[in-house]
């Protein structure tokens, strides 16, 4: 069963949906809740809400005492815009503790079991392989949720790295299956144990819609029952054992014009060790709208911290390199559909591709990051004062065609950027250009004039800006493709 689940998820990631349907149709009446979850996700991608309800109901029948099953069914009603029914099932989910998609329990059990095997003199290799395959299936199933629903890219990428690692271990074990050498097996088990911190980091990256308190909060927010919504966001923070929903509570205080509560919570956010980019963005926007000093600032007047250059015909980079990059980034690259990107967004980190042109682009971007820091070195603010010396670059491509857009959002990095591979020429039309603004999400404006900048872009343009700065792509209406590589510079802590 573990191999089948893993294969099904793999086909979904490769968009080989006909193979998924064939495998599941062969099983006929023996479908599991995992199978129904996969079918539900495929139908969510196609926006077939009737089938999603059908499969969600079947998951509930298979798992009648599951928090996950009731919460999942509530998500179905939420997507159908049946908010009151969604609330009913979210509240029911709170009566149960078991969550089959929760990574914490799976990771702890797996780590404990592998540690036991490592100390055991009498190793059963077949049993160890089975344990690894079962764990691989569980964490890969967690990825399927990201394909059809609002994704959590960092979680997806980290799972992908660990699955690749587990596959390497499994391949080694299968090669030695006939003559399993104790030292060889223990050496590989030791490799897995060394990855424990990476496995543990996974369950800290839960997607929002898996938290029933978050779901109740967003329902009451839609119903404009703001006090109830804020209370549930507080409970969502406690369940996740994080403060990641503080920005949502700040949004509510802004909507209620509760300035004292807003700045009191902001003070707590500021005292946290971790920088909260959503809170930075809303703090900047609300302070601007209320004509008050911003107490939690990443950089004053973030629109002044935009850096733009064109790299064509510099550093041995030309249109031929652009063509090669387009070819390289699209090769064997899985795509995902999200509410933010009305188009295609790639999965995984493009900068992990070991190709000449992508490596060259990465070097050019790093050089320009250094230039960015030099350009603003005389500024006194958090962004420049704490500018990271060590960082990772995570990149993905965004492909837009007629009707495509990227709605307003921010990133959780430090410095964010975009490199433009293709942009059909249209000197008069700003559609498809990038707009950067202080406005956080679609919160109401109290001032008539909004602080924003629209930048004309063309192939070869490289753009860098603070990760806390909201930005969007103006809806694109040309028949040709607009292709860009977006990326984040994230500090290594």
155-180 pLDDT, tens per residue? 777 788 888 889 988 888 877 755 55
Residue 270 covered by a domain: no
pLDDT-derived band at 335, boundaries 50, 70, 90: low
pLDDT-derived band at 199, boundaries 50, 70, 90: confident
pLDDT for 153 equals: 62
33/140 same-domain check: no
8/78 same-domain check: yes
311/453 same-domain check: yes
Share of the chain above pLDDT 70, in %: 92
Work out the average pLDDT over 334-346: 62
Higher local confidence (pLDDT), 399 or 185: 399
Per-residue HEC secondary structure of the chain comes to: CHHHHHHHHHHHHCCCHHHHHHHHHHHHHHCCHHHHHHHHHHHHHCCCHHHHHHHHHHHHHHCCCCHHHHHHHHHHHHHCCCHHHHHHHHHHHCCCCCCCCCHHHHHHHHHHHHHHHHHCCCCCHHHHHHHHHHHHHHHHHHHHHHHHCCCCHHHHHHHHHHHHHHHHHHHHHHHCHHHCCHHHHHHHHHHHHHCHHHHHHHCCCCCHHHCHHHHHHHHHHHCCCHHHHHHHHHHHHHHHCCCCCHHHHHHHHHHCCCHHHHHHHHHHHHHCCCCCHHHHHHHHHHHHHHCCCCCCCCCCCHHHHCEEEECCCECCECHHHHHHHHHHHHCCCCEECCCCEECEEECCCHHHCCCHHHHHHHHHHHHHHHHHHHHCCCCCCHHHHCCCCCEEEEEEEEEECCCCEEEEECCCCCEEEEEEEECCCCCCCCCCCEEEECCCCCCCCCCCCCCEEEECCCCCEEEEEECCCCEEECCCCCCCCEEEEEEEEEECC
Do 423 and 457 touch, CB atoms closer than 8 A?
yes
pLDDT-derived band at 149, boundaries 50, 70, 90: very low
pLDDT for 148 equals: 43
Residue 32 covered by a domain: yes
Higher local confidence (pLDDT), 315 or 471: 471
pLDDT for 73 equals: 92
Residue ending a domain, among 67, 93, 119, is 93
Least confident stretch, 28-32, 135-139, 278-282, 369-373? 28-32
Residue 114 covered by a domain: yes
Specify whether the backbone of 224 is left (phi greater than 0), alpha (psi in -120 to 50) or beta: left
Q: What is the pLDDT of residues 411-457, one digit of tens each?
A: 989 999 999 999 887 766 778 889 999 999 889 999 888 889 999 99
Q: Whole domain around residue 344: which residue ranges?
A: 303-491
Report how many domains make up the chain: 3
pLDDT-derived band at 362, boundaries 50, 70, 90: very high
Residue ending a domain, among 154, 169, 202, is 202
Q: Is the pLDDT of residue 123 over 80?
A: no
pLDDT-derived band at 295, boundaries 50, 70, 90: very high
130/18 same-domain check: no
125/68 same-domain check: no
pLDDT for 151 equals: 41
Look at the alpha carbons of 415, 418, 419, 425 in this order and tell me if their dihedral is positive or negative: negative
Q: Is the pLDDT of residue 147 over 50?
A: no
Residue ending a domain, among 93, 120, 149, is 93
Mean pLDDT of the chain: 86
| CA-wise closest residue to 340 among 400, 392, 394, 286 | 400
Work out the average pLDDT over 336-345: 62
145/191 same-domain check: yes
pLDDT for 84 equals: 97
484/341 same-domain check: yes
Least confident stretch, 98-102, 216-220, 242-246, 269-273? 98-102
Residue 255 covered by a domain: no
Q: Is the pLDDT of residue 475 over 80?
A: yes
pLDDT for 79 equals: 82
Phi, psi (deg, nearest 5) at residue 399: -110, 120
What strands lie across the sheet with 452-455, from one edge to the other? 341-342, 405-409, 471-473, 434-437, 452-455
pLDDT for 114 equals: 83
pLDDT for 340 equals: 59
Q: What is the pLDDT of residues 229-287, one digit of tens each?
A: 999 999 999 988 889 999 999 999 999 999 999 999 999 999 988 899 999 999 999 99
pLDDT for 336 equals: 55
Residue 391 covered by a domain: yes
Work out the average pLDDT over 305-321: 89
Least confident stretch, 51-60, 84-93, 279-288? 51-60
Do 455 and 474 touch, CB atoms closer than 8 A?
no
Give whichever of 97-101, 204-208, 307-311, 343-347 has the largest mean pLDDT.
307-311
31/114 same-domain check: no
322/453 same-domain check: yes
Residue 244 covered by a domain: no
pLDDT for 179 equals: 54
6/117 same-domain check: no
Q: What is the pLDDT of residues 376-391, one digit of tens each?
A: 988 889 999 999 999 9
55/127 same-domain check: no
């Amino acid at each position: 069963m573990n191999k089948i689940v893993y294969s099904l998820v793999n086909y979904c990631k490769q968009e080989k949906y006909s193979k998924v349907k064939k495998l599941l149709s062969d099983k006929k009446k023996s479908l599991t809740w995992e199978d129904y979850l996969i079918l539900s996700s495929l139908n969510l991608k196609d926006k077939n809400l009737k089938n999603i309800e059908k499969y969600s109901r079947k998951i509930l029948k298979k798992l009648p005492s599951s928090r996950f099953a009731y919460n999942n069914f509530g998500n179905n009603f939420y997507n159908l815009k049946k908010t009151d029914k969604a609330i009913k099932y979210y509240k029911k989910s709170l009566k149960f503790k078991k969550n089959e998609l929760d990574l914490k329990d799976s990771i702890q059990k797996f780590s404990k079991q592998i540690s036991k095997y490592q100390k055991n003199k009498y190793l059963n290799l077949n049993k160890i392989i089975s344990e690894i395959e079962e764990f691989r299936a569980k964490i890969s199933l967690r990825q399927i949720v990201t394909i059809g629903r609002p994704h959590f890219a960092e979680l997806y990428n980290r799972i992908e790295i660990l699955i690749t690692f587990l596959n390497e271990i499994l391949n080694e074990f299968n090669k030695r299956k006939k003559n399993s050498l104790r030292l060889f097996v223990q050496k590989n088990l030791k490799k897995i144990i060394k990855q424990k911190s990476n496995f543990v980091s996974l369950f800290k990256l839960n997607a929002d819609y898996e938290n029933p308190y978050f779901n109740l909060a967003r329902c009451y927010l839609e119903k404009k029952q703001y006090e109830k919504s804020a209370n549930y966001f507080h409970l969502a923070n406690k369940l996740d054992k994080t403060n990641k929903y503080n920005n949502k509570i700040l949004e509510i205080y802004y909507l209620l014009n509760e300035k004292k509560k807003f700045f009191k919570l902001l003070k707590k956010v500021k005292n946290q060790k971790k920088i909260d980019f959503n809170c930075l963005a809303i703090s900047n926007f609300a302070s601007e709208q209320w004509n008050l000093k911003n107490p939690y600032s990443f950089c004053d007047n973030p629109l002044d911290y935009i850096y733009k250059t064109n790299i064509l015909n510099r550093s041995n980079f030309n249109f031929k390199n652009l063509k090669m990059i387009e070819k390289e980034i699209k090769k064997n690259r899985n795509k995902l559909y999200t509410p933010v990107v009305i188009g295609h967004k790639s999965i995984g980190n493009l900068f992990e591709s070991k190709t000449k042109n992508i490596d060259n682009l990465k070097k050019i971007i790093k050089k320009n990051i250094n230039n960015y820091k030099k350009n603003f070195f005389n500024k006194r603010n958090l962004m420049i004062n704490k500018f990271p010396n060590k960082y990772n670059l995570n990149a993905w491509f965004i492909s837009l065609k007629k009707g495509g857009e990227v709605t307003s959002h921010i990133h959780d990095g430090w410095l964010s950027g975009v490199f433009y591979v293709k942009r059909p020429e249209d000197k008069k039309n700003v559609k498809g250009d990038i707009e950067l603004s202080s406005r956080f999400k679609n919160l109401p404006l109290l001032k008539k004039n909004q602080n924003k900048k629209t930048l004309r872009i063309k192939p070869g343009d490289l753009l860098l800006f603070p990760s806390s700065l909201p930005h969007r792509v103006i809806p694109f209406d040309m028949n040709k493709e607009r292709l860009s590589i977006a990326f984040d510079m994230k500090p290594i802590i």
